[in-house]
Amino acid sequence: MKKAADLPYALTAEVTHRCPLHCPYCSNPVELQRRESELSTDEWCRVLDQAGELGVAQVHFTGGEPLLRPDLERLVGRARENGLYVNLITSGVGLTEERVRQLKEAGVDSVQLSVQAPNAELSDSIAGFRAHELKRQAAARIRASGLPLHMNVVLHRANLPLLEEMIELCEEWGAERLELANAQYYGWALRNISQLLPTREQLEEAEAVYARAKERIGDRIELLWILPDYYEQYPKPCMGGWGRLSLTVAPDGRVLPCTASSDIRTLVFENVKERELAWIWHESPSFNAYRGYDWMPEPCRSCERKEHDYGGCRCQAFLLTGDARATDPVCVRSPHRSAVAERVRSAAGADAATADYIYRGLEPVELRRSRA
């Protein structure tokens, strides 16, 4: 079994899957963990201790909505005791002035706030919850506290045409860093791909808007553009290579190479309730499954790009082909390329005037909305 040559740089701590929003592009797995299966405070503290011992440099507290954990401040403090940089990823719902103060005192270093659209009507419609005004208030409170405000937007068919207004909104709210992340089609998002996947023309126009904004803004805001890959010739690298840079601890304690990998049903992921984090990183079959190149089938094994993209995304390969070893279907050299092409054709034929989302929730409920 091949051991990792490197130590993990970052830990994504999914402290809960509970969330007030119902976003149709949610990247969490289809089967969410309920409150009763979440790690306890003491269990999370042990995870953070082990992360520090393992050499992890930063932790991202996320969910779901991490603010729903009343022990979040204690977990933040434990992370700082272990020398970890602490980033909080939140919807902003529930981020009162008092909570911001407590989190800052506990040791939060930065806050990343999600936003769905530049106006309340569309934003609340996408989120399935009236959150836009709460997000504006949260942004103001974060800035008033002196904490760095980072923002992220998941881009898709409904909000891409408003990209310029979205960037201007984030400037107005005081973002120091803005991540423009085109939707990735895993988990719940794959169920809504026909409603979410933009056209190639939309993407090209949006990329031009991004380029102009990048030139205008300069160094005032760190502006990031996360490419979609359904329209690319070659896949994106798989998290810098499977099990090379980071790890995720799910709410129930399972340790994953990335946030989407729990959907790979052919792997068994070890749990921090039974195994030490270091053993899982170095020795577990799941983390070693796709390290290196020996596992690769053709055409990846003999491809000159394998040291760049590591065969592409294992989660995407499994979701579209049923085989996590398969060449990522995004790749033009993949024998499964038709799986991507078919989804692109299906999305292109969908009615752009009406989006019928299957909204996210612990108990999936199909809500329908129409846009004129």
Q: From residue 286, how far is each of 229, 247, 267, 316, 331 by CA, in Å?
A: 25, 12, 6, 16, 24
Asked if 239 contacts 186 with a C-beta cutoff of 8 angstroms, the reply is no
Q: In sequence order, what E strands does 193-258 have?
A: 222-226, 246-249, 255-256
CA angle 104, 109, 111 (to 5 degrees): 85
Report d(CA 326, CA 313) in Å as an integer.
9
Report d(CA 195, CA 316) in Å as an integer.
18
- Residues annotated as binding site? 19, 23, 26
Instruction: Determine if the peptide bond prior to 257 is cis (ω within 30°).
Output: no
Q: Which residues contact 204 (CB under 8 A, 6 or more apart)?
A: none
Q: In sequence order, what E strands does the chain have?
A: 10-14, 58-62, 85-90, 110-114, 149-155, 177-182, 222-226, 246-249, 255-256
Asked if 89 contacts 112 with a C-beta cutoff of 8 angstroms, the reply is yes
Report d(CA 235, CA 332) in Å as an integer.
9
- Residues annotated as binding site for [4Fe-4S] cluster? 19, 23, 26
